[in-house]
Amino acid sequence: MKRVGIAGQENSHHSSDFTLSSKAKYRFYPGKVSINFILFLLLIGVLITSLFMGRYPVDPVTVVIIVVSGILERIGDMIANITGVKIAFFWSIPHTWSVIVNTVVWDVRLPRAVAVVLAGSGLAVSGATYQGVFRNPLVSESILGVSAGAGVGAALAILMDQGTGVIQLSAFVFGLLAVSITFAISRVYRSNPTLVLVLAGIIVGGLFSAVISLLKFVADPYSKLPDIVFWLMGSFAKASTANFILIIPVILIAMLVIVLLRWHLNVISMGDEEARSLGIDTKLFRPVVIVCSTLLTAAAVCIGGVIGWVGLIIPHISRMLVGPDHKDMIIASILLGGSYLLAVDTLCRTLTSVEIPISIVTSILGAPMFLYLLYKAKKAWS
C-alpha cells in the first residue's frame, strides 16, 4: 500500500517554535558508538589488569604474551586435531616464562576472570532486560525469585555434603524452579500479566528466602553453616574451567538472543497493548526474553553465588552513558557489567590477605552509586 503522506505542510500553531536547528544530522547522543567502543577497551584493560594483579607478581607485558600465545597454541591444536597434521606454526611463541607463571595466569587467573566477566555481563544484561520488559527502572535481576531459589539449591547441596559442581548445578536448577513457580502463579490471574508476574516473584522470593533461613537454622554451625553463609555472600574463588564450562554455552546463547532482540525491547517497554498493536507477538516475545534473562541470572548465580546490585546499577549507568535506546544500552550493559564485576573481584582477592566475599563489595559500592544515580536521573523518571 502507498505510504500515507500529507502534501502541503500545514501552517499550524506548532510551527511558531520551529527552528532551523532541525537541520542537524539526526544523530542521537553524538559519539554513542564510540562510547561502546571505549567500554570495550575498558573491559580489555580491566581484564589485563586482573591477570597481573595478585599475590604472585607477573608483569603486564608477560601477561599479554602468555594469553596471546596460549590462544594461538589452542588454535594450532584445534587445526592439528581437525586436519590431523601437527604443524609448527609461525606464530608459536617460545616460552620464556616459568611454568609457575604460566599456571598462575593461564590456569588460575584467566578462567576466573572469564567466569567473572560472563557473570557480570549476564547479571547486567538480565537486569537491563527485566527493567525494559517490566517497564520499571527499579527492578533487578532477582525480581522473579531466581537468587532466592538458587540460594536454596546451594544450601541444600551444601547440607548434603556435595562438591562444588553439584552445588552449582543445584543452585542453577533451583533458581529456574523458583522462576517457574513464579510463572505458574502468574498464569492463574489473567489480567495485567506483567504486574502479577512481579508480585508472584516477590511472593516466591520471600518463600524461598524463608527456606534458606530454615536450612541455615538446621545446618551444623561449625562446618555447614559457614559454607552456606559464604556461598550466599558470593565468591568466584571456586570458579574453575572444569565446573563452569558447561554453563558458558547457556550464557552465550541466552545473551545472543537478547542482543538480537534488543531493539524490540524498546517497543515492549512501551507496554503490552502498544507492543501488540505495533505487531509484536507479546505472548511469545515476553516469555522468550524473560527466560533468557532468567537463564543468565541463574548461570551467574550458580558460578559466583548471590551477587547483589550489579543488575540494578549497571543498566542505569549504561542508560546514562548511551541513552535509553536498548539497541546501544544492552551492548553497553554487557561491556560495563563485565568490567565492573571483574574490577570488583580483583579488588576482593587483592585488597586483603583473606579474600573478601564479592557481594559485600558490590553492595558497599552499589548503594551509594545508586543514590547518586537516583539524584542524577530524578528528572528523567518523574
Partner 1 sequence: MMCARLEVKNATFSYDGKRNIFEDISFSVDSGDVFCILGPNGTGKSTLLRCLCNLYPLNAGNILIDGLDISSYSPKKLAKKIGFIPQIHTPTFPYSVLQVVMMGRTPHLNTFASPSNRDREIALEALRTVNIEHIWDKPYTELSGGQMQLVLMARVLAQEPEILLLDEPTSHLDVGNQIYTIKMIRKLSQKGLALVMTSHFPDHTFLSSSKVGIMKDRKFLAMGPAEVVVTEENLQDAYGVPIKIVHIDGEIKRKIAVPVVKD
Provide the binding-site residues for partner 1, judged by CB under 8 A. Answer: 1-6, 9-10, 12-15, 17-19, 21-22, 24, 26, 28, 132, 135-137, 260-264, 266-267, 269-271, 273-274, 276-282, 319, 323-325, 327, 380-381
* CB-nearer residue toward partner 1: 70 or 324: 324
What minimum distance in Å lies between the beta carbon of 199 and partner 1?
Answer: 18
What minimum distance in Å lies between the beta carbon of 51 and partner 1?
Answer: 35
CB distance 158 to 321 below 8 Å: no
* CB-nearer residue toward partner 1: 27 or 55: 27
* CB-nearer residue toward partner 1: 89 or 189: 189
What minimum distance in Å lies between the beta carbon of 3 and partner 1?
Answer: 6
C-alpha cell, 86: 601437527
* CB-nearer residue toward partner 1: 12 or 353: 12
Chain position carrying cell 561491556? 335
Residues 6+ apart with CB under 8 A from 218: 159
* CB-nearer residue toward partner 1: 30 or 206: 30
CB distance 233 to 289 below 8 Å: no
- Give exposure, 144-180, as e/b (b: 16+ Cβ within 10 Å): bbbbbbbbbbbbbbbbeeeeeebbbbbbbbbbbbbbb
What minimum distance in Å lies between the beta carbon of 60 and partner 1?
Answer: 38
CA dihedral 313, 315, 318, 324 (to 10 degrees): -130
What minimum distance in Å lies between the beta carbon of 328 and partner 1?
Answer: 10
Chain position carrying cell 558460578? 303
Q: Is the dihedral of CA 374, 375, 377, 382 positive or negative?
A: positive
* CB-nearer residue toward partner 1: 131 or 346: 131
What type of residue sits at position 60? P
How long is the chain? 382
What minimum distance in Å lies between the beta carbon of 266 and partner 1?
Answer: 6
> How many Cβ atoms are within 10 Å of 276's Cβ, its own excluded?
15
* CB-nearer residue toward partner 1: 142 or 282: 282
Q: Is the dihedral of CA 255, 123, 276, 377 positive or negative?
A: negative
C-alpha cell, 68: 596471546
* CB-nearer residue toward partner 1: 132 or 308: 132
> How many Cβ atoms are within 10 Å of 358's Cβ, its own excluded?
27
Chain position carrying cell 540460594? 151
What minimum distance in Å lies between the beta carbon of 381 and partner 1?
Answer: 8
What minimum distance in Å lies between the beta carbon of 278 and partner 1?
Answer: 4
